Amino acid sequence: MTCRAVLLVLSMTMAACSTQRDQAADPVREAVAPPVPTLDKSGTLYFYGLLQRPDFSLAFAAMSGTSQLPAWTRHDQRSTPAQRVEVAGRERWLAVACKPHDCPTERIMVLYDAQAHEMTGLFARRKVDASDLTSNAPTNDELTWLGVPDDETRRFLHERMYSAK
């Protein structure tokens, strides 16, 4: 084989490898690119669906105090539809969930700022020696603040946790 033939074979091989690499990379990018579903079949956002979003789950994991939370807070749980609320002049998502099959004993509320990718929250666990297990009084719960909520955010979360709504 002449030098010219060798160069021709090498350049064809390099072109084929380059094309295959480019083609192989496209499906990988496409597989990563589609948005993660966050809606249930009715089109409603729920706590667990939000946890499937990378931005929400990263903010949740970065919040101080989450390492102390029970496993159900990261997995399927009972929740109400997430709501857009305004707290301290900023629009946020309020997501609420509770322990499966035992909602009164453990509850979580988080406020997620989608613009800043920041989250704060409140986790409530019913005290073992609570005087009235059916009462939604704050004195019956041990509270854990998640993240670093300012005073207005603390008031908002506390009021929502213990309001009759």
At 164 the three-state DSSP class reads: coil
What does the H/E/C string look like for 60-120? HHHCCCHHHCCHHHHCCCEEEEEEEEEECCEEEEEEEEECCCCHHHEEEEEEEECCCCEEE
> 37-89: per-residue pLDDT in tens?
444 555 678 888 888 889 999 999 999 999 999 999 987 667 889 999 999 99
- Of all residues in the chain, the percent with pLDDT exceeding 90 is 47
Q: Report pLDDT for 90.
A: 93
Q: Identify the pLDDT of residue 26.
A: 44
Whole-number Cα distances in Å, 163 to 142, 144, 159? 17, 18, 6
What would the mean pLDDT of 111-134 be, rounded to a whole number? 89
CA–CA gap between residue 144 and residue 27 (Å, rounded): 44
- Architecture of the structural domain at 47-162: 3-Layer(aba) Sandwich (3.40)
CB 53 within 8 A of CB 38: yes
pLDDT (0 to 100) of residue 38: 47
Average pLDDT, the chain: 78
Q: Could you tell me what percentage of the chain is helix, strand and coil, using 3-state DSSP and rounding each to the nearest 5? A: 40, 25, 30
85-98: average pLDDT? 94
Asked if residue 111 has pLDDT above 90, the reply is: yes
Q: What is the mean pLDDT of residues 95-103?
A: 90
| pTM of structure | 0.72
The amino acid sitting at 110 is V
Q: Which residue ranges make up each domain of the chain?
A: 1-34, 47-162
Cα angle at 162 between 80 and 82, to 5 degrees?
20
pLDDT bucket at 110, cuts 50 / 70 / 90:
very high
| Amino acid identity for residue 147 in this structure | G
pLDDT at residue 30 greater than cutoff 70: no
